[in-house]
Structure formats: structure tokens, C-alpha cells
Amino acid sequence: MADHDLVVRGATVVDGTGAPRSTADVAVDGPTITAVGRVGGRGRREIDADGLVVAPGWVDIHSHYDGQVLWDPLLAGSSMHGVTTVVMGNCGVGFAPARPEERGWLVRLMEGVEEIPAAVLDAGIEWRWGSFAEYLDALGRRPLAIDVAAQVPHAALRVYVMGERGENHEEAPTDDEIARMGAEVVDALAAGAVGFSTSRSVLHKSSDGRVTPTYGASPAELLGIARAMGTAGLGVFEVVTDFVELDAEFALLRAFCEVSGRPLSVAISERRGEGPGPYRRQLELLEAAVADGVPMRGQVAPRPPGGVMTLDGGRNPLLDLPTYAGLAHLPLPERVAELRRTEVRQRIVGELEALDPKVSTVHIYGRAFPLDDPATYDLSPERSVAGIAARTGRTREAVVYDLLLERDGRAMIYTPGANFDEGTLDVTRELLVHPFTLPGIGDGGAHCTRVCDTSFPTFLVTHWSRDAQPDERLDLEWVVQQQSAETAAWVGLTDRGVVAEGRKADLNLIELERLESRIPEMASDFPLGGRRLLQRADGYHATVVSGEVVVEGGEHTGALPGAVARPAALLRTR
């Protein structure tokens, strides 16, 4: 008879609290950590962790797996990057609550805002819920490798209560409708939602071209919902906003938080061409709020959020060129063969060079970087398209063309968007180390063929605790704490995020020297063969969820211990 289900022996434990690492064994029984220290007896399974770092599983508070969770039990790529809990329902979009007549519209909104094709969502979602509680129950019946937690998306809530009128952001809800929205959120929180999310960004549009319905929602609407959440004493807010009238907008968010007494996080970044003024002002207002006891945080990116240009993706500079359009229908290998022909190259590079730089992608060539495998995201200027052009005497257009054809047309060119106006990671670091920010905004599950930031948690460890210049490096203990205990506690999941007796056994066993994000690849594994960028990782020796090894050496083990994480249930059992 074994004494424990699992014993991890001789690990370097970085426990998530920020405490210095120590060598210890970790015993697990059922879904729970039962001992950390010197563990006697034997485990039914023993893992020799000599040389491995054992950390809590990552808790990623910003994903868009709301649809994917219904067809992909692995929630890949997040599960490949050590993430053991994903929070979905961000940015105000999602699929519950939902009436049958609004389903099509919610799908088109997700398609527009998060760039997940409607056809894929239609094929992959079996609608078996009306209320948010029923959605959580539907998720609970799905096979899952890792845990999921969900927020109530404002857009879905709005049309659930207001009907078709709610689709239009210029339509204001009546007092009665605001009260009903509040009541729905309270019911959802009681059933296990982790919070409520909204978007105030004009960039968020449905695929029918209409701006997201929560854009410009009035203080009456938002504060009405906030009051209801305050009464419930549950849940967090997640907000994305353009901060057009910065101070006034921040004041509204702060009021949201003050009226409810509930925590609020808002995405903060240096937007392109804006300089440091706006984000520094946001941090200043954040500091003032926290100093007054208002629980607000900024949600920030561990590396510049960016697009990926690739021949087979939704984003590359050739897409609108006449000669390329004639080849675009060809399967990738044939297309690459055509593109390699000298006369085709000459013609397309010529068309690219003839574009008006004001409207073409040429302006980003100074910030376009071919990714290697593994993808280290080295953003030195000489590695950019513009840098390579200067060095090799080719035009930037010719360089981009040639780069796209590398790796048999599977090359990936990363184009950092926000936080990169200075051409360094300084802004990223400044935002990351700010005492009132949390790592997030990786957008797992979204922007299928255009963005691949699911590897943020891995980059947080590899770059910031290991590869950065010594004077810029951050303690491993600190980055682990940010991505586990801090994010878990933020969304009310106090049962996880720390390697300690009594906590949920969600663990990462990491070969720190080998930890790397691989180059993204274009997978066709979505419903109907839908394509999406997928990124793997090396160096996660094993990832454990509720005591079961779900990923080992980069491969899924077949174990499906994942469940719906419900903060309200934790409060009840306390």
C-alpha cells in the first residue's frame, strides 16, 4: 500500500508566496497537496524532481476560450504553457446568458471582437443553456484537462435582458432592465461566476460592423450592476477601455469599484504612437485609488502584445496584392513553389514596394521580427525586417517576402504592437513590476490566425527571470507569485496558486534551463478544419491538475481532471 498518491521528490520548490526557494518533497493525495517538506513513506507514483523547479500551476486571468472549451478539452495552447486554470468571459464577450434568438448575434460579436470564425463557433458550440448557471453546468459536464472559470460578459447579459435593442450601444436600458441585469449577475456569481466583464473600446466591433453594445454604457447602467455585485459581496470586474477622456473614464471605473466594493482590473498598455503620458497617468490614478483603499489593478502583458505575420495566416503584407491574390487559393506547398519562382517574386515584391507606405504595413517593418524555434522573442533592432534590410542591402519589402517563404512557408514574423514605441522592453518591465498590476491579456483562444500570445506565462519566466540582462532580471520567486498566487487570489480562487499543505494540487514541474516557447505553428484542428496559431513549449517536465499529471514532456497524458472553478463554492465550504 502506498502512503500517498503522488510524491514529488527533492524538488526546488518555488511556492508562489514569494518566499525564497527551498528543497523539499511534495506529497499529493487525491486533488490536494498533503505535505511539503520531508515526506516519508512511498507514493503510488513517485517523480524524481532533482533539478526541477516545482511551482504552482499558472492561473491565466485573461482568455477567450468561451467557445473552444466546448470542443477542446485540452484548452491548447494554454495547457501546453503550464496554465492549470484559465479565466474566460473577458472583454464583455461570451455566450451566456443567452436566449436562442440571440445566439447568432453573440457568435458574430465574438467573431468580430476576438477573430474566431463564426462558422467554427457555429459548428463547435452545442447550445444547451439559457442562464449563466446553466452554462457553467454545461461546462462542468465537458471533459477538461485543466480548470476553467468564467465571467459574465456584459454584451451577452445586455441582449439577454434587453432583447435585440441591447445589441445597439446607443440604446439605454430602462431602470427595470438595469435592475434585471444586476439580478442576473448576482445569480451567476452565486452559481460560480468569477466576475463580470465589459468592453469600452471602439475597436471592438461585431463582424456585422457594429460597435460592441457595451461601448459607452452609461454610469447608470454600470453602477447599477456594480451595486448589485456589492450586495452579493462576490465577483471581480474586468474592463477594457480606450481611455479617451482618460481622467473621466478612470473616475467611472473607480466609482464602479467604490460603489460595489469589488475588485476591478483594467488593461493598461502604451498604445502605439501615444508615448508614455497616458499609461503613466493611468498608473498614477491607480496608485491614488489604491491609496484610498479602492481595490483596483492594472492588467498588463509580460511581453508586447503583438500580431503574427505568416503566409498561411490572417495577417501578412501580401494578402491584398493582385499577383498574390491569384495564388492565394493554392495549398501552401504549391503556393510556396510558385512564390519561389524568380518572376513571381519580382512581380510581388514590386507590387509591395509600390504601395503607399501610409496605408501599407511597411511602417511596421522596423518592428517586425522573424521568430526562431524556440521563439525567444529577441527584439534587438538588427533582427527586425528593417535591420536585416539595412544589413543585406535588400529592400524591406524583399526581406519580408523572403522571410515569409522560409521554413517552407511556415515562417512566423512577430510584430509587437503595444508597449514597444521605444523599441525595447522597458515599458513592459515598468508595467510588470508596478506594485498594482497583474500579468494578463494573453487572449488565449482568440485572434486565431493573427495573434499568438498564449505563451505569455512562459515568457514571463524564461525572459524575465532567466534571459534578461542581469540588471533587468526579476526574481523567479516573484514572477511565479505573479502568475499563480496573485492571479488566483485576484479572481477569488483561494484554494490554489500556492504549493502548501491543504491547497489544490495544481503544479508545474519545470526544467528551468530547458524552458522555451516553441515557434507558433498553424494548426487546422478547430471544427470544420478551422485554422489557428498554436504554440507549444519545451521544459514543462510535467503539469499536474488536481493531483493528476495532465501534460508530460509537452504531450497530453489523456488525464481529464479539469473542472469548473467556482469562487462562491469556496466561500461556502470555508
Task: Tell the smallest beta-carbon distance from residue 474 to Zn ion (Å).
Answer: 24
Residue 80: CB atoms within 10 A of its CB come to 25
Of 196 and 324, the one with the shorter C-beta distance to Zn ion is: 196
Of 145 and 441, the one with the shorter C-beta distance to Zn ion is: 441
Task: Tell the smallest beta-carbon distance from residue 418 to Zn ion (Å).
Answer: 13
Of 6 and 194, the one with the shorter C-beta distance to Zn ion is: 194
Residues making contact with Zn ion (CB under 5 A): 90-91, 443
DSSP label of 19: P
Dist CA 379 CA 374 (whole Å): 14
Of 84 and 90, the one with the shorter C-beta distance to Zn ion is: 90
Dist CA 162 CA 160 (whole Å): 6
Q: Who's near 319: CB < 8 A, 6+ residues apart?
A: 328
> From its phi and psi, is residue 10 left (phi > 0), alpha (psi between -120 and 50) or beta?
left
Task: Tell the smallest beta-carbon distance from residue 383 to Zn ion (Å).
Answer: 28
Of 91 and 431, the one with the shorter C-beta distance to Zn ion is: 91
- Of 160, 179, 267, nearest to 223 (Cα)? 179
Of 35 and 150, the one with the shorter C-beta distance to Zn ion is: 150
Task: Tell the smallest beta-carbon distance from residue 204 to Zn ion (Å).
Answer: 9
Of 91 and 550, the one with the shorter C-beta distance to Zn ion is: 91
Dist CA 50 CA 34 (whole Å): 20
Dist CA 222 CA 62 (whole Å): 21
- Of 396, 400, 395, nearest to 411 (Cα)? 400
Task: Tell the smallest beta-carbon distance from residue 128 to Zn ion (Å).
Answer: 25
Task: Quickly count helices (H) and strands (E) in the chain.
Answer: 18, 24
Task: Tell the smallest beta-carbon distance from residue 300 to Zn ion (Å).
Answer: 13
Of 27 and 446, the one with the shorter C-beta distance to Zn ion is: 446
Task: Tell the smallest beta-carbon distance from residue 446 to Zn ion (Å).
Answer: 6
Dist CA 41 CA 518 (whole Å): 38
Residue 476: CB atoms within 10 A of its CB come to 20
Task: Tell the smallest beta-carbon distance from residue 373 to Zn ion (Å).
Answer: 27
Residue matched to cell numbers 493582385 = 322
Q: Who's near 155: CB < 8 A, 6+ residues apart?
A: 92, 93, 94, 106, 109, 199, 212, 213, 214
Of 443 and 486, the one with the shorter C-beta distance to Zn ion is: 443
Residue 321: CB atoms within 10 A of its CB come to 20
Of 90 and 323, the one with the shorter C-beta distance to Zn ion is: 90
Dist CA 116 CA 135 (whole Å): 20
The 3-state DSSP class for residue 129 equals coil
Task: Tell the smallest beta-carbon distance from residue 238 to Zn ion (Å).
Answer: 9
Residue matched to cell numbers 509537452 = 554
Task: Tell the smallest beta-carbon distance from residue 409 to Zn ion (Å).
Answer: 29
Residue whose CB is nearest to Zn ion in the complex, by number: 91
Q: Who's near 316: CB < 8 A, 6+ residues apart?
A: 309, 310, 404, 413
Cβ–Cβ under 8 Å, residues 298 and 436? yes
